[in-house]
């Protein structure tokens, strides 16, 4: 058949131990939890306001919070029941305090009415599907995506309807579906491709109707051979082989980062301080594509997502969990923590994830993985000026210069070295012989610069 | 799940490659064992004493100074590297107390006084050697001819000194220079064994090829311009060990690729100038020390263009 294009990485990249121990484990649908905690800020952009109050009964899929701001995404109840209280929760990423609704389940899992336009799981009439999509206008598609609260599910949580509606002077000629999943341990996107391949490709088709690109690529790292083969088969079956190009990429970290991925596939470099659309590209994650399909064709809001629960866990799994399920609940459903007295709990992968202490924090739209690791004491030593961080940085930065200047409090000097271009992938700290938490320094510097500005 | 008790916090990334400073240092030591072997083979058992005294003094000095500075002493192998390197660039019959003094100076003054590992401006081993050259000019220029296994060896000239009388047959001269059967510092004579050690460092990506290649290349080219035999100039003296093991010292050399090229070329020019115009036969040690002083400047001005860097357009 041979519709797969093979590509090497356009950057040096790291070969990380994969540890994808859950790759072969089919997703389990997590039963509806007794209660969920739903924070108001689950995406980049404006924080939502509640449109329900304490004591209200809600159905699964019912909108409970929204914002008038364009860059925002509404939030929905993920289970049916009663809004029992409104609490304060700390966003582990930004440390900002935000409101969150606690919904207690009525055990019924009653849903709002969902109008299905098509059933891609059961029907093989793909030309019928395309006709339906083509008959829905671009505006309507974007509206449905927004109403369903779809955001970038790769972790960045940028509202999808905004991304798919670039300003008219930005011509988009390349659409990339990101199935790289280059972080170790995480397998949620991998499982989505294998188990929801039809929805993913259908979602990609819908996305392509909004930005009308000339080239559509599906990018997958070659460590997911089965997903590549399965999607290849599906593309042919669904009649997409003339418009979708499947790319098998050499596994190198951080391949899945937008900028490195665009560079590898198109050869274009997103300018410093720019966005992918500045080089005519848009990148969407596979899980986002699935949600776009569900939003547009099934009018089903984003209320659940695939989460890999892995690491030092008795029974690591891929779970399809309702948003708002607590991290502790997920860990319990996987048999609990397997060993060790001191451990860290990471939301996200081992390279970029954030370690949390509050195990009652819920699964939000951006939670693709919960990783438990035994805690190891890290002793920072002197920088020996070896230049390994400079050598590995996919953004061609000089991380050691940051550390040196930040230690002296020279935050502004770091800007001369383009610190804002850092994608915080962690490659520098991974290779650092002195075990310096370089990314920690960089984050401190970035937030200090932002504070001084604002 | 039990709440709170043992959950700790950590910085991303939460995994580490584990290629530590200590590993790097001991790989360098392993690579240096090849030139070390040539030193012992050509200059006899006394070489072993020089090496041991140098290493032990270096490590002890570091230990004591860390204690005095109330800092934690970490046996990361860097003092071993300094001690061993110093031994390899000393004359093979240097009195042991002078060796110890040199090792002490390398660690105490050149390394620790500047803040320790990574903060030193000058290569510690070369700093120590320069100090000894200034204080003990006679002892530091007393050479023996190999192979000599007894202490009371016949003194002889090193290939770069004016009194050196080369073999009539050029090929056997090159052979001696390549295998190391010639006068000189303890570990600098055998180009072959230095190259084997350097190959290990290059293959394990401990050192970058740019500095040694541009250094040696510039010396060869410069010697050609000076009407000297380039192959002889490259093989003789401390160029080989200096280019691969000392000019590549992380803390005292630039971090960027272009910076390293400038550094290498600068070293080459200085070495040619010193060898041809000064009253010293050899210039590797001082060339590297001088370029060490330029490293912060090179690192300040030679930067790499970040990903997606665009020149500012005038009417953008």
- Taking the C-alpha atoms of residue A260 and residue A421, their distance in angstroms, rounded to an integer, is 12
The pLDDT value given to residue A280: 94
**Across B290-304, average pLDDT:** 94
The pLDDT value given to residue B2: 53
The answer to whether A73 touches A91, Cβ cutoff 8 Å, is: no
Q: Is A1 a residue whose pLDDT tops 50?
A: no
Sign for the pseudo-dihedral over CA of A88, B9, A348, A12: positive
Instruction: Assess B16–A contact: CB distance below 8 Å, yes or no.
Output: yes
Which among A350, A359, A397 has the least Cβ separation from residue B15?
A: A350
In B113-142, the residues whose Cβ lies within 8 Å of chain A are 116-119
Q: Is B153 a residue whose pLDDT tops 90?
A: no
Sketch the domain layout of chain A as residue ranges: 4-23+114-298, 388-453
Per-residue model confidence as pLDDT tens digits over A84-143: 999 998 877 777 888 999 999 999 999 999 988 988 888 888 888 999 999 998 999 999
Nearest Cα to Cα of residue A42 among A378, A363, A437: A363
Q: Is B149 a residue whose pLDDT tops 70?
A: no
Per-residue model confidence as pLDDT tens digits over B210-240: 999 999 999 999 999 999 999 999 998 899 9
Instruction: Assess A184–B contact: CB distance below 8 Å, yes or no.
Output: yes
Is residue B10 very low, low, confident or very high in pLDDT (cuts 50, 70, 90)? Answer: confident
Per-residue model confidence as pLDDT tens digits over B69-81: 998 888 889 999 9
The pLDDT value given to residue B312: 62
DSSP string, chain B: ---STTEE--PSP-------HHHHHHHHHHHHHHHHHHHHHHH-THHHHHHHHHHHHHHHHHHHHHHHTT------SHHHHHHHHHHHTS-TT--HHHHHHHHHHIIIIIIGGGTSTTT-SS-HHHHHHHHHHHH-TTGGG--BPSS--SSSPPB---TTSTT----SSHHHHHHHHHHT-SSSSTTTS-HHHHHHHHHHHHHTTSS-SHHHHHHHHHHHHHHHHTTS-HHHHHHSTTHHHIIIIITT-GGGS-SSHHHHHHHHHHHHHHHHHHHHHSS-S--HHHHHHHHHHHHHHHHHH---PPTT--PPPTT-
Mean pLDDT of chain A: 92
Nearest Cα to Cα of residue B128 among B74, B90, B185: B90
Check CB contact under 8 Å for A395 and B3. Answer: no
Instruction: Assess A414–B contact: CB distance below 8 Å, yes or no.
Output: no
Q: Is B169 a residue whose pLDDT tops 80?
A: no
Q: Is B4 a residue whose pLDDT tops 50?
A: no
The pLDDT value given to residue B144: 82
The pLDDT value given to residue B75: 87
Q: Give the class (CATH, top level) of A4-23+114-298.
A: alpha beta
Per-residue model confidence as pLDDT tens digits over A170-190: 999 999 999 999 999 999 999
Q: Is B316 a residue whose pLDDT tops 60?
A: no
Nearest Cα to Cα of residue B105 among B121, B128, B82, B126: B128
| Domains of chain B: residue spans and CATH | 21-300 (1.10.3430)
Instruction: Assess A242–B contact: CB distance below 8 Å, yes or no.
Output: no
What ipTM describes this predicted complex?
A: 0.90
In A366-395, the residues whose Cβ lies within 8 Å of chain B are 371, 373, 375, 378, 381-387, 390, 394-395
Judged by average pLDDT, the poorest of A123-137, A289-303, A392-406, B249-263 is A123-137
The pLDDT value given to residue B279: 81
Nearest Cα to Cα of residue B248 among B297, B198, B212: B212
3-state secondary structure of A127: helix
**Across B80-109, average pLDDT:** 96
The answer to whether A402 touches A419, Cβ cutoff 8 Å, is: yes
Q: Given the DSSP bridges, would you call strands A174-179 and A215-221 parallel, antiparallel or unpaired?
A: parallel
Q: Mutating which of A311, A381, A445 best tests the B interface, going by the most B Cβ atoms within 10 A?
A: A381
**Across B265-288, average pLDDT:** 92
Check CB contact under 8 Å for A271 and B308. Answer: yes
How many beta-carbon contacts under 8 Å exist across A and B? 164
């Amino acid at each position: 058949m041979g519709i797969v294009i093979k590509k090497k990485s356009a950057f040096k990249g790291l070969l990380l131990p994969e540890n994808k121990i859950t790759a072969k484990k089919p997703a389990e649908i997590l039963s509806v939890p007794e209660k969920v905690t739903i924070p108001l800020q689950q995406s980049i952009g404006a924080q939502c306001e509640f449109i329900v109050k304490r004591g209200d009964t809600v159905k699964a899929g019912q909108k409970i919070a929204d914002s008038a701001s364009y860059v925002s995404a509404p939030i929905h109840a993920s289970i049916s029941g009663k809004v029992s209280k409104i609490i304060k929760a700390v966003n582990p990423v930004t440390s900002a305090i935000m409101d969150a609704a606690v919904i207690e389940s009525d055990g019924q899992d009653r849903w709002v009415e969902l109008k299905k336009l098509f059933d891609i799981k059961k029907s093989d009439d793909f030309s019928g599907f395309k006709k339906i999509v083509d008959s829905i206008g671009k505006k309507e598609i974007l509206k449905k995506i927004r109403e369903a609260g779809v955001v970038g599910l790769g972790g960045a949580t940028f509202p999808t309807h905004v991304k798919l509606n670039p300003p008219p002077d930005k011509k988009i000629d390349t659409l990339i579906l990101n199935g790289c999943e280059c972080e170790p341990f995480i397998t949620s996107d991998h499982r989505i491709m294998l188990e929801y391949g039809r929805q993913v490709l259908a979602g990609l088709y819908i996305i392509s109707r909004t930005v009308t690109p000339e080239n559509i690529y599906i990018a997958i790292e070659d460590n997911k051979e089965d997903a590549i083969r399965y999607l290849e088969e599906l593309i042919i079956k669904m009649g997409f082989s003339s418009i979708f190009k499947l790319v098998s990429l050499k596994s190198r970290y951080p391949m899945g980062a937008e900028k490195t991925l665009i560079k590898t596939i198109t050869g274009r470099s997103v300018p410093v301080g720019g966005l992918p659309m500045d080089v005519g590209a848009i990148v969407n994650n596979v899980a986002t594509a699935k949600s776009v399909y569900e939003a547009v064709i099934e009018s089903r809001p984003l209320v659940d997502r695939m989460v890999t629960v892995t690491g030092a866990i008795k029974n690591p799994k891929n779970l399809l969990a309702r948003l708002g399920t607590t991290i502790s609940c997920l860990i319990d459903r996987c048999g609990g923590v397997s060993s060790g007295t001191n451990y860290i709990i990471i939301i996200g992968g081992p390279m970029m994830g954030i370690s949390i202490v509050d195990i009652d924090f819920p699964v939000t739209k951006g939670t693709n993985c919960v990783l438990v690791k035994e805690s190891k004491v890290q002793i920072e030593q002197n920088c020996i000026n070896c230049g390994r961080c400079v050598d590995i940085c996919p953004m061609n930065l000089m991380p050691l210069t940051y550390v040196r200047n930040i230690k002296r409090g020279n935050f502004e000097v770091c800007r001369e070295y383009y610190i804002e271009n850092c994608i915080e992938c962690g490659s520098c700290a991974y290779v650092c012989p002195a075990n310096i938490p370089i990314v920690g320094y960089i984050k401190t510097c970035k937030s200090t610069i932002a504070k001084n500005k604002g | 799940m039990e709440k709170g008790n043992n959950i700790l916090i950590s910085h991303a990334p939460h995994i580490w490659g584990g290629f530590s400073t200590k590993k790097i240092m001991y790989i360098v030591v392993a690579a240096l064992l090849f030139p070390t072997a040539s030193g012992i083979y050509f200059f006899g058992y006394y070489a072993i004493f020089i090496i041991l005294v140098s290493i032990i003094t270096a490590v002890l000095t570091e230990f004591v100074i860390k204690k005095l500075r109330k800092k934690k002493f970490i046996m990361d192998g860097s003092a071993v590297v300094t001690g061993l390197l110093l031994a390899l660039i000393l004359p093979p019959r240097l009195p042991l107390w002078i060796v110890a003094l040199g090792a002490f100076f390398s660690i105490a003054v050149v390394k620790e006084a500047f803040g320790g590992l990574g903060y030193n401006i000058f290569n510690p081993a070369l700093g120590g050697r320069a100090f000894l050259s200034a204080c003990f000019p006679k002892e530091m220029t007393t050479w023996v001819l190999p192979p000599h296994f007894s202490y009371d060896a016949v003194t002889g000239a090193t290939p770069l000194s004016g009194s050196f009388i080369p073999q009539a047959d050029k090929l056997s001269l090159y052979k001696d220079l390549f295998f190391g059967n010639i006068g000189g510092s303890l570990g600098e004579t055998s180009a072959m064994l230095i190259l084997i050690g350097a190959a290990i460092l290059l293959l394990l990506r401990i050192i970058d090829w740019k500095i040694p290649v541009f250094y040696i290349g510039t010396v060869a080219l410069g010697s050609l311009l000076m009407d000297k035999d380039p192959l002889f100039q490259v093989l003789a003296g401390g160029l080989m060990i200096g280019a691969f093991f000392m000019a590549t010292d992380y803390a005292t050399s630039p971090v960027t690729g272009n910076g390293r090229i400038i550094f290498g070329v600068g070293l080459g020019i200085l070495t040619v100038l010193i060898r041809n115009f000064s009253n010293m036969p050899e210039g590797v040690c001082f060339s590297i020390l001088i370029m060490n002083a330029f490293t912060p400047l090179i690192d300040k001005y030679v930067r790499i263009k970040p990903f997606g860097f665009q020149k500012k357009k005038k009417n953008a």
